[in-house]
Amino acid sequence: MNRLPPLKSLQAFEVAGRHLSFTEAARELNVTPGAISQQIRLLEEFLEIKLFKRMNRLIVLTDAGQLFLPMISAGFEQFSEAVNLVRQRRSDGPLTITSAPSFVSKWLIPRLARFKSLHPNIDVRIDTSDRLVDFQHEDIDVGIRFGDGVYPELETVFLFSFDLIPVCSPELIREGKGLKKVSDLKHYTLLHSNYDELDPGWPDWAMWLRVVDAEGVDSDHGIYFNQSDLLFQAAMEGQGVALLASVMAEPEIAAGRLVQPFKARLPVKLNYHLVTTPHKACIDKVAAFREWVLAESAYLRDSLN
């Protein structure tokens, strides 16, 4: 096996190369600039080639340094990923799941007890967020995301798609002027979702009203929400009529807490997917959750056939 330079000298080079500053490298590694300079000198002596040009108070990478830096940076990235992977394989570590608040509250939580009954030794931690998670560097095992399924460097499993349906609370209809025909919507507040950034073609009230050939209804008026769980809550509390995901709304309709006044539906192009890294997909707790969530959502995929 070929002899390798000391890890400390490689680390000093990688950090100094990123910052092009011994001072900034020293600050990141919590050492003195002199210690960084010494480690770089040891590495250059080991390699028998200069990696930096010293120009007064500035340093720049030599041609050899520019060739060397990305490979060393990639090596440290792999070290970090290996350490995280080993840590996450611990049997006593919790399974950390990230997903949007609406999915967690309306679909995952009502079913989560079944996962725990099958896997009582797996503790679960839920992270409710719409942000894009860095699975390579954050302590997140698996995510359930709503999108087009194109997530570079992640392993993606399709779960289900859905339609948007109009819903409201039964009290709203009883206390209002009734919803016997679609033109009656002009007497009600329309509840909207602000999803244009996620999908410019997101189905909205204007599309639904065109499908049903409604007249005299202003598709733009009403209340707008940037999170679907808030839209759901507003509909449940009788604030107006909303277009909600069928998969989330139908259990509430069956329980009598929501009603669907009209049957017309709008398909949604985006879908729910389970996502994780190829490395984390091999971890037992992640594999167990993937198998369980696929079984739980099978009825939704079957309904597409």
Three-state DSSP state, 150: coil
Residue 116 lies in a domain: yes
Tell which residue, 210, 258, 206, 211, has the closest CA to residue 231: 258
Do 174 and 220 belong together in one domain?
Answer: yes
Do 235 and 101 belong together in one domain?
Answer: no
Do 135 and 173 belong together in one domain?
Answer: no
Q: Which domain holds residue 205?
A: 163-267
Do 142 and 275 belong together in one domain?
Answer: yes
Do 139 and 84 belong together in one domain?
Answer: no
Which of the listed residues 73, 88, 103 is the one where a domain comes to its end?
88
Number of domains forming the structure of the chain: 3
pTM of the model as a whole: 0.67
Task: List per-residue pLDDT tens for the chain, 305 residues long.
Answer: 467 888 899 999 999 999 999 999 999 999 998 999 999 999 999 999 999 998 877 899 999 989 999 999 998 888 877 776 666 555 458 999 999 888 999 899 999 999 999 999 999 999 997 777 878 778 889 999 988 888 888 999 999 999 999 999 999 988 877 788 999 999 999 999 876 555 556 788 999 999 998 888 999 999 999 888 899 999 999 999 999 999 999 999 999 999 999 999 998 888 999 999 988 898 899 999 999 999 999 999 887 66
Do 260 and 225 belong together in one domain?
Answer: yes
What's the CATH code of the domain at 20? 1.10.10.10
Residue 1 lies in a domain: no
181: tokens are 């025909």
Do 169 and 262 belong together in one domain?
Answer: yes
